[in-house]
Amino acid sequence: MVNNDIKKAFQKILDFADIKINGSRPWDIQVHNPNFYSRVLTGGNLALGESYMDGWWDCKKIDQLIYRVLKAQLDKKVKGSKNLFWLFLKTHLINPQSRSRAFIVGQKHYDISNELYHYMLDKRMNYSCGYWKNAKTLDKAQEAKLDLICKKLKLKPGMTVLDIGCGWGSFAKYAAQKYKVKVLGVTISKEQAKLARKLCKGLDVEFRLQDYRDLKQKFDRIVSIGMFEHVGHKNYDEFFKVANRCLKDDGLFLLHSIATSVSTTHTDPWTEKYIFPNGMLPSAVQITKSYEKLFQLEDWHNIGVYYDPTLMAWHKNFNKAWPKLKSKFDERFFRMWNYYLLSCAGSFRARHNHVWQIVFSKPGSQVRYNSVR
């Protein structure tokens, strides 16, 4: 009787998003364990993701489910207070993205398997939002994104470029080949650095396993694509100080980052535990406060609507490649990774998160900048 009452209470909450328990529509949730309701009501987002990994529930279209949940703001109605309280303490009492902890996300996420990312991503291995404005395939969307960044940076042959958080070298390789520039890429992932060096062999490109805070060289241009999400609010000021220190007076700096509309000091607890440890999404206020007096704003472009199709393409590739990958990973990882990709797609579809490309110049710069789309 207790479980039945909790189920009814849970359904009343889901009614706000037009989601039915054991319904027939693609976004309806199929519950296999009666303890699911109390687990999620007390554990919030963390419990929702973990219970899916444990096989307690299923849904034909998780992306549609999460989209509806976020559009109806059900995440504000069901919160795991204990999880949020711990994250609040963690982000205020310690620095999760300190030098000593900076390489953790590399080890736990980016180093898990180059083979996984090879199959999941586009042919250039871009692990960030594509630019689908005029593209119909993932490869074309990622190539368009790289070219858009190069044009926004106004790259010219012979320029020196710093890539903070270079991934597997996709931008470095593209910029070196197409725009004839010299690139230094830094990453906190051993596996990324290893493969990037192999993929960019013969080009005027160098990769280092290095914390961005140790950078001291001067560059004509700086780019950071999908790395700022790992910096953390305690380090935003230092990140921009490093970028200012490394950029020549007439240079340009492009920051590409997932972001949120509301300032916070912690991330989703499930994502923190299973996908991106020590991660945090910045808000506009947090960014502007940190670059003040160090840079002047040239351009601010939101391309977040394109992350939904990017994530859905990754999900399709991952599932297509699963027969080749399952010898390395178990079924729980399969469910975890699917939940990660699809819940993120639903989040961007609901405009819960964004992707910003922001272009900066140094104070007093005489660069005449025209926005590129």
| Distance (Å, whole) CA 64 – CA 277 | 26
Q: Among all residues, which ones are annotated catalytic?
A: 344
11 membership: H or E segment, kind and range? helix 2-15
Phi, psi of 226 (to 5 degrees): 70, 25
Cβ count within 10 A of residue 229: 18
Locate the DSSP E strands across 166-209. 182-187, 205-209
| Residues with Cβ within 8 Å of residue 255, at least 6 apart in sequence | 224, 228, 287, 356, 357, 358, 359, 360
- Rounded CA Rg of the chain: 21
Q: With 0-12 CB in 10 A as exposed, 13-18 as middle and 19+ as buried, what is 293? A: exposed
Q: Which of 168, 174, 166 is nearest to 149 (CA)?
A: 174
Length of the chain: 373
Q: Which of 236, 225, 159 is nearest to 187 (CA)?
A: 225
**Do the bridges between strand 205-209 and strand 57-58 make them parallel or antiparallel, or are there none, so unpaired?**
unpaired
Q: Which of 194, 28, 46, 185 is nearest to 117 (CA)?
A: 194
- What is the 3 state secondary structure string of 21-37? ECCCCCCCEEECCCCHH
